[in-house]
Structure 1
Amino acid sequence: MAEPMLSVENLHVSFQTKDKEVRAVRGVNFSLNKGETLAIVGESGSGKSVTAKSIMRLLPKHNTKVKEGRIIYEGRDLLTASIRDIQKIRGSDISMVFQDPMTSLNPTMKIGKQIIEGLKTYQSISKQEGKTKAAEMLKLVGIPNAEERLDAYPHQFSGGMRQRVGIAMALACNPNLLIADEPTTALDVTIQAQILELMTDMQKKTGTAIILITHDLGVVANMADRIAVMYAGEIIEIGRAEEIFYKPQHPYTLGLLQSMPKPHTSRTVPLIPIPGTPPDLAKLERGCPFAPRCPHTMKVCHYFNPEMQHASGGHSVSCWLQDKRTPKENLPAGVGVV
């Protein structure tokens, strides 16, 4: 079996404030193959974006501490690589589409110049060649009158068009891996669908692997090959998309699914919210971090954090309900047994 393109191994990332340590990522493990789409889902504050920015080495240096772990990209540990090597990898090998394109695009610089600047950083091309390539990228992401729009500023584009520009910039140097951090959050439903369809089409044409970060399972339903569910800085369930949607093993995953609107059903299905709020990552208690919100908590959940239980097909879950010693009558409806 071929080695994965990217492997994140036992990653621990903390932020140090004046009087406390925020443990944002706690022992994250996953891998990504070439041409694959992995979705990382979870509530705000679960560690999704911190994990992504750790891969890109974009976290602030003054208060970030990678306490443990490795991020192996094509045989090289990105966490120990020099800044010069990381700068060569960013944009050319690994690119990122950020959540808010208005903050990731320079508002004082024309769109064409921003794309050309990225191209010239990694490729030996003339100004005219860069302009031609930039126009091709805008056409590729569905922006009409591409040659004319090269001279426009970010504020002259709608939110959806700015996100398309962000994708064009990220794909300009043909990266092997595209990290999309909540790329559709600020967009309406119609534009969301267009952006996701665009990313899928780009992947088919270029073979780029994608890590899609979102809090909305509905966004990834038709796009992801595998889904990793994060909670309190940990991956608590990971598996193929069909396994996560149709055979969820963790009560939190089930809660996310139950809180999704179901527009294709013929009857009205009430949404069931997950009670409580996510834990404070600076004040984590011992035991399972989801225990205070879980309707199926057992005594052991408050004292020990469960280990990841592996199943055939790559489906894994971290939950005491799946432990072999747990009586199966304790399992909630909708949650299966690994």
Structure 2
Amino acid sequence: MEDYILKVDNLHVSFRSHDDIGEIKAVRGVSFELKKGETLAIVGESGSGKSVTAKSLMRLLPKQNSMIKQGSVIYEKKDLLKYSNKEMQKIRGSEISMIFQDPMTSLNPTMTIGKQIIEGLRKHQVMEKKEVIKRATELLELVGIPSPKERMKNFPHQFSGGMRQRVVIAMALASNPTVLLADEPTTALDVTIQAQILELMKNLQKKTGTAIIIITHDLGVVASMAQRVAVMYAGEIVETGTVDEIFYEPKHPYTIGLLLSMPKLHSSRSLKLIPIPGTPPDLGQLPEGCAFAARCPSVMKVCHTFPPTMTEVSETHVVSCWLEDKRATRVERLSELGGSVNEGKRKVN
């Protein structure tokens, strides 16, 4: 059996609404496992529940209006959802760290970079003053900050966006975490800096053996970083598989839609991008049946009535879609679209 360090099982997270919408079901029955030293990518459109899932693992959701209604987050054989605040403070930053989307909101503009890294080190480790300064300098050097001793004295506004993100990564790695959550770590960066940051994270993973969960809507990031992919839509994981399975043998129409809307720079053919029509459903008023039904090009009657269940495609590949369910019969495959991506259609009498 695989050696998983983190296991999320049937996680449900809701938010209280102050108007007539009712309960916002942001995460609905999410389950996945993270193996030691691997990178799992969670992908999907904005509002699909990716960031809420990540923050739930760290217990960073606002208490006043969020509710973890069901599920478990097993880390080192213990459920983090049952931990007290004090117990979670020992886990955050030391064993599980998080890199947020915008480095400027993660850094204190009134403190030097050095002080901020040192503060994190002292919070989680007992070290002498000389040791902690040396470690902070080493971390900046590790993430590629030139002249780290001198830059320790600088404030965040004296760094470029890419350099600020490197500092945030250094802070996240300060205590050698076992699990690193990266929530859209390259969204605010230009393409060149984005590639540098992703390469940096891959190299650091090789050196430290840290397991990474990367939250993104960019499939290019997934291709360069991850071994496994979980596709989220409307608060649910609709498909999980290896990178090759998701990119070359996608089964869910939403996954196929994401791939068809991605530019293919190295394709021998000039392919038109195909957007996914419509918008995601209101999480306060979810439809019966499949949440993707209203946007699905292969929708069937059953999709509007009953929610699909997970179907195993292979040992590493599962999908939540009636198209792959044996109970839905009479399969018709349409002509190939976008290289190896197929669009499936079934008719039900």
> What TM-score do you get using the length of structure 2 for normalisation?
0.94
Give the match for residue 245 of structure 1. 247
* 1:1-338 correspondence runs (5 A): 1-19=1-19, 20-332=22-334, 333=336, 334-335=342-343
- Find the aligned partners of 2:185 and 2:332 in 1 and give their Cα distance: 39
Closer, same or farther in 2 for the Cα pair 1:331/1:232, shift >3 Å? farther
**d(CA) in 1 for partners of 2:235, 2:302:** 20
CA contact (8 A) 1:321 1:330 kept: no
Q: Aligned with 1:5: secondary structure?
A: strand
* Paired AA for residue 40 in structure 2: L
In 2: Cα distance, 1:267 partner to 1:162 partner: 39
Deviates more, 1:164-173 or 1:12-21: 12-21
What is the distance in 2 between the residues matched to 1:314 and 1:228? 11
Assess if the C-alpha contact under 8 Å between 2:39 and 2:227 holds in 1.
yes
Query: Do the aligned residues in 1 keep the contact of 2:50 with 2:232 (CA within 8 Å)?
Result: yes
Q: Is the 8 A contact 2:38 2:212 kept in 1?
A: yes
Distance 1:325 1:267 in 2: 37
- What whole-Å deviation, never above 9, does each CA across 1:242-273 have from its counterpart, x for those lacking one? 00000000000000001111111234221111
How much has 1:313 moved relative to structure 2? 2.5
- Cα gap change, 1:331/1:67 in structure 2, threshold over 3 Å: closer, same or farther? farther
8 A contact 1:247–1:336 mirrored in 2: no
d(CA) in 2 for partners of 1:42, 1:58: 21
Is the CA contact 1:35–1:209 (under 8 Å) kept in the aligned structure 2? Answer: yes
Tell me by how many angstroms 1:328 deviates.
4.6
Query: Which ranges in structure 1 are unaligned for 5 or more consecutive residues?
Result: none
CA distance in 2 between counterparts of 1:330 and 1:233 reads 29
- Equivalent-residue separation in structure 2 for 1:207 and 1:144 (angstroms): 24
1:6–1:74 Cα contact (<8 Å) kept? yes
SS in 1 for 2:241: strand
* Residues 229, 238 of structure 1: 8 Å contact kept: yes
Aligned-partner residue type, residue 292 of structure 1: A
- Does the CA-based 8 Å contact 1:247-1:335 persist in structure 2? no
Query: What is the distance in 2 between the residues matched to 1:225 and 1:135?
Result: 31
| Superposition RMSD in Å | 1.3
How many angstroms does 1:184 deviate by?
0.5
Letter in 1 for 2:73: I
Q: Which string of whole-angstrom CA distances, capped at 9 and with x for unpartnered residues, describes residues 259-318 of structure 1? A: 111111234221111001111101101110000000110000001110010132320000
- What does the per-residue CA deviation read over 1:181-210, in whole Å, with 9 as the maximum and x for residues that have no partner? 000101111111111100000000000000
Which string of whole-angstrom CA distances, capped at 9 and with x for unpartnered residues, describes residues 111-147 of structure 1? 0000000000111112221111111011101110111
Q: Deviations over 1:12-66 (max 9, x none)?
A: 0000022321100000000001001000000000000000000000000000111
Partner of 2:339: none
* 1:89-123 CA-partner distances (Å, limit 9, x unpaired): 11110000000000011111100000000000111
In percent, how many aligned pairs have the same letter? 67
TM-score, normalised by the number of residues in structure 1: 0.97
Aligned residues of 1:41 and 1:229 also touching (Cα < 8 A)? yes
Is residue 3–residue 36 contact of structure 2 (8 Å, CA) maintained in 1?
Answer: no
One-letter amino acid of the counterpart of residue 84, structure 1 = K
